[in-house]
């Protein structure tokens, strides 16, 4: 994980196709963020979850989920 000011990037695998991709994490955007981003490989929408921890020596928690359009 590389730190560049208030943002960093993490490598995560796509929940649809499994392809590794880079997700930009903006830690200034709030404690808990979710947004939808299309996979660059399979173009399906995935939900990016970001949880910034106050006790954050380890950085934010980031994970991906499928957006099944519920
Ligand atoms: Zn994908």
| Whole-angstrom distance, CA of residue 38 vs CA of residue 62 | 16
Q: If you measure from the C-alpha of residue 45 to the centroid of ligand 1, how many angstroms do you get, rounded to a whole number?
A: 8
The residues that bridge with 46 in the sheet, in sequence order, are 37, 66
- The rounded Å distance from CA 55 to ligand 1 centre is 32
Domain boundaries, the chain: 2-66
Q: Is the pLDDT of residue 19 over 80?
A: yes
Instruction: Please give the Cα distance from 9 to 19 (Å, whole number).
Output: 16
- Give the distance (Å) from ligand 1 centre to CA of residue 8: 21
32-58 pLDDT, tens digit per residue, is 999 999 999 999 999 999 998 766 577
What are the distances in angstroms from CA 51 to CA 17, 41, 43? Answer: 24, 25, 24
DSSP structure class, residue 27: G
Distance 65 CA to ligand 1 centre (A): 11
3, pLDDT greater than 60 = no
Instruction: Output the pTM of the full model.
Output: 0.76
> What is the 56 CA–ligand 1 centroid distance (Å)?
29
Residues 66 and 69: their CA atoms lie apart, in Å, by 9
Residue 14, pLDDT > 70, answer: yes
- Mean pLDDT value of segment 16-25: 92
């Amino acid at each position: 994980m590389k730190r560049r000011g208030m943002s960093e990037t993490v490598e995560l695998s796509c929940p649809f196709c499994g392809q590794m991709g880079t997700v930009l994490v903006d830690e200034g955007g709030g404690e808990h963020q979710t947004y939808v981003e299309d996979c660059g490989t399979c173009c399906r929408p995935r939900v990016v979850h970001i949880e910034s921890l106050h006790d954050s020596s380890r950085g934010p928690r980031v994970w991906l989920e499928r957006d099944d359009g519920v």
